[in-house]
Amino acid sequence: MQTKQHCNEDAITAYLLGMADREDANHVDACLDCYARVERARIEMEHLRAATQNLASRPEQFWDRQRRAIMERVTPVQRTPFRRWLWVPGVVLGMLVLVFLLHLLPILHPRPEPGDIVKTQPQQLQQDADDLLLVEIQNDLQRPVPRALEPATLLVQARNNIAQSNKRHTSGGVQE
């Protein structure tokens, strides 16, 4: 029978954490040398835990001194009050330029009045537009159904056709 070599550091750490393989756990339980190494590691971990708790549990005065020492090293930036308002004249100047440009736009590109548009069109174009309008009105008046309701009339016709075909089927068997 071949004996297993002693556990390495990773196996001992896994055993302490409860994550060791079954084979390693059985070996540690059976081998006095490996069990002694596990116990030494456990004692070292307890010492480390106690040392960290000791370092972390300082009195409040210690932390106050630390805070004061850090605050003395940090120099606050001195803010000058006049720099805070430097942006105000720039904003005011920008708004004045914007208002001036908005008032100049109608001067640069004057809008024609509605009456001016009619006066500037040639007489022939105006008559052609009037003739086209009259033709469209006449066509709309001659329609049996307004153009906007044409899709609805198609739906009504389809519904009537379905209703008539249903009457034929139902009344076809009843006729004498």
CA dist 61 and 63 (Å) reads 5
How do residues 44-95 score in pLDDT, each as one tens digit?
989 989 988 887 788 888 889 988 998 888 877 666 666 677 788 888 999 9
CA gap 44, 90 in Å, rounded: 68
> How far, CA to CA in Å, does 74 sit from each of 64, 67, 100, 117?
15, 11, 49, 73
Q: Which of 45, 9, 43 is nearest to 24 (CA)?
A: 9
Comparison of pLDDT for 111 and 86, the residue scoring more: 86
Write down the pLDDT at residue 52: 86
- The yes-or-no verdict on residue 14 having pLDDT over 80 is yes
In 3D space, the residue among 6, 72, 67 whose CA is nearest the CA of residue 36 turns out to be 6
Tokens representing 52 are: 């960290």
For residue 4, is pLDDT > 70? Answer: no
- Residue among 4, 14, 3, 5 nearest 38 (CA): 14
Q: Return d(Cα 104, Cα 147) in angstroms, integer.
A: 46
Give dist(CA 44, CA 109) in Å, integer.
Answer: 89
Q: pTM of the prediction?
A: 0.33
